[in-house]
Amino acid sequence: MRAIKVATEDPNAYYRIVSRLKRTHLQFSSAVGELPTGRDLVITSRNETPKFEGLVVAIEDLDEDPLVMEGQLLSRLVDRSRRNLLVGIDPGSRIGLAVFYGGIEFGALTTGSAEGLVSMVVRVASRVPHSAFSVKIGGGEPRSSLRLARMLRRRLPEDSLIEIVDESGTSRGRSGAMGAARDQRAAARIAYRKGVRFI
């Protein structure tokens, strides 16, 4: 995979780029004083993009949300044949979410808001370039699962695949302080299970 290099002569732009990259899970390095190779993904300011050859992106063109931004950068790093966007959801009073791009997990969160979660999934689907998009929802709590599936079906493009899956064994030991992390791990397991398509 290509290396991410921060390349700018503008101190304010450098601070802005690095601050935002630190909120993602991506590794990056500074190219100050060196010329990035054509294999690197260069992040710079919009005014400086003409200085570089190869794969260049302006920080102004990336989403402010770190999860969406990470997906946008992965779309430039991952081979075109692997641009599959996959979401796993573990419903309940606490809803776990895990998001994968080309097999790489780039986002996980836990929320108590179904509306907030649906908005996040829709934002990821609309802002992160992909060749296929799938959502897998655990079916352990049928009312919650079907509600989420209906909400997503109304707001996602028609070619999005939504499935209800058997979540047996995905959520062991969910009580205690680590419950939020366990919800996210359950969502990650759900993402890779085969389910029944929701129409």
Per-domain boundaries in the chain:
4-62, 81-197
Asked whether the predicted pLDDT for residue 177 surpasses 50, the reply is no
Confirm if 101 and 24 have CB atoms less than 8 A apart. Answer: no
pLDDT digits over 86-106, tens only? 999 999 999 999 999 999 999
Superfamily of domain 81-197: YqgF/RNase H-like domain (3.30.420.140)
Give the dihedral sign, CA 144/148/154/158: negative
- Say how far apart CA 58 and CA 49 lie, in whole Å: 7
SS3 of residue 103 by DSSP? coil
pTM, to two decimals: 0.87
> Which residue has 């419950």 as its token pair?
179
pLDDT digits over 122-166, tens only? 999 999 999 999 999 999 899 999 999 999 999 999 999 999 999
Region 65-90: mean pLDDT is 92
- Say how far apart CA 59 and CA 157 lie, in whole Å: 27
- Average pLDDT of the residues of the chain: 90
pLDDT band (50, 70, 90) for residue 175? very low
